[in-house]
């Protein structure tokens, strides 16, 4: 899987959030999208995952050198972000089963295995609305990591996580990110320290 950006820009009204991005993301590599809060990192991630069209430039997706329409990119990616909502009325088990109606599971990951990975065996029948913010963030991350997709996109992945939660997140990276095209939006080094490439959104302010 490969994503190529050619002169990509995005604006709201007359104000450009970023402009003139030429970049290439390749499978098997981890990238960090960097910049201060409000700089446009999440907006760029939305362009990359196909949920937001660029205002200028061209974005192309290639799978084994075959082009993929932007409307179909979602089939090949997993996304976790603080602003993504879980279905509050579902129990943990129901939420997991619902998610995997749309995504293929990683090999060897069943409901019990994922719940064990979360350390939430006592909460399997608990409704999501009664989860703490940290539990919800763990669940979002686990669902993304354990989905069998070529791309993994994470926005501020350790939001609402304590020190143990951050260590847990980094273990997930080691276990499940290898071989994928991984993109992390962050301004906290512990979230992206494993990334080998970085794109600073501040370099594309015009």
CATH number of the domain enclosing 137: 3.40.50.300
**Total tally of structural domains belonging to the chain:** 1
Q: What's the angle, vertex CA 194, arms to CA 177 and CA 69, rounded to 5? A: 45
Query: Kind of pairing, strands 2-12 and 77-80?
Result: unpaired
Q: Stretch 50-77: mean pLDDT, rounded?
A: 93
Closest CA to 186 of 84, 54, 86, 80: 80
Edge-to-edge strand order for the sheet containing 77-80?
77-80, 151-155, 181-186, 30-34, 197-200
The predicted structure's pLDDT at residue 65: 86
Cα 26 to chain centroid distance, Å, stands at 15
- Domain holding 101, by residue range, is 2-204
Q: For residue 200, is pLDDT > 80?
A: yes
Share above pLDDT 90 across residues of the chain, in percent, rounded to a whole number: 93
Average pLDDT, rounded, for the chain: 95
Q: Any idea how long the chain is? A: 206
| Interaxial angle between packed helices 92-99 and 111-118, expressed in degrees from 0 to 180 and rounded to the nearest 10 | 120
Q: What are the pLDDT digits (tens) for 108-165?
A: 999 999 999 999 999 999 999 999 999 999 999 999 999 999 999 999 999 999 999 9
User: Cα torsion for 72, 5, 137, 134, to the nearest 10°?
Assistant: -170
Q: What are the pLDDT digits (tens) for 89-109?
A: 999 999 999 999 999 999 999
Q: How confident is the model at residue 66 (pLDDT cuts 50, 70, 90)?
A: very high
The predicted structure's pLDDT at residue 206: 66
Evaluate whether 133 touches 158 at the Cβ level (below 8 Å): no
């Amino acid at each position: 899987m490969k994503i190529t950006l050619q002169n990509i820009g995005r604006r709201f009204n007359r104000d450009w959030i970023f402009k003139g991005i030429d970049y290439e993301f390749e499978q098997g590599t981890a990238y960090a999208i960097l910049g201060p809060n409000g700089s446009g990192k999440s907006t760029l991630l939305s362009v990359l995952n196909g949920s937001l069209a660029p205002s200028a430039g061209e974005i192309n997706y290639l799978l084994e050198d075959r082009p993929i329409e932007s409307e179909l990119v979602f089939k090949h990616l997993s996304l976790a972000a603080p602003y993504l909502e879980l279905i509050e009325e579902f129990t943990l088990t129901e939420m997991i089963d619902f998610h995997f109606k749309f995504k293929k599971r990683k090999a060897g990951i069943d409901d019990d295995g994922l719940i064990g990975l979360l350390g939430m065996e006592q909460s399997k029948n608990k409704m999501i609305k009664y989860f703490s913010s940290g539990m919800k963030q763990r669940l979002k991350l686990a669902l993304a990591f354990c989905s069998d997709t070529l791309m993994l996109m994470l926005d501020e992945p350790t939001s609402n996580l304590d020190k143990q939660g951050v260590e847990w997140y980094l273990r997930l990276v080691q276990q499940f990110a290898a071989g994928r095209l991984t993109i992390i939006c962050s301004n906290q080094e512990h979230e992206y320290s494993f990334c080998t490439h970085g794109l600073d959104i501040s370099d594309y302010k015009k």
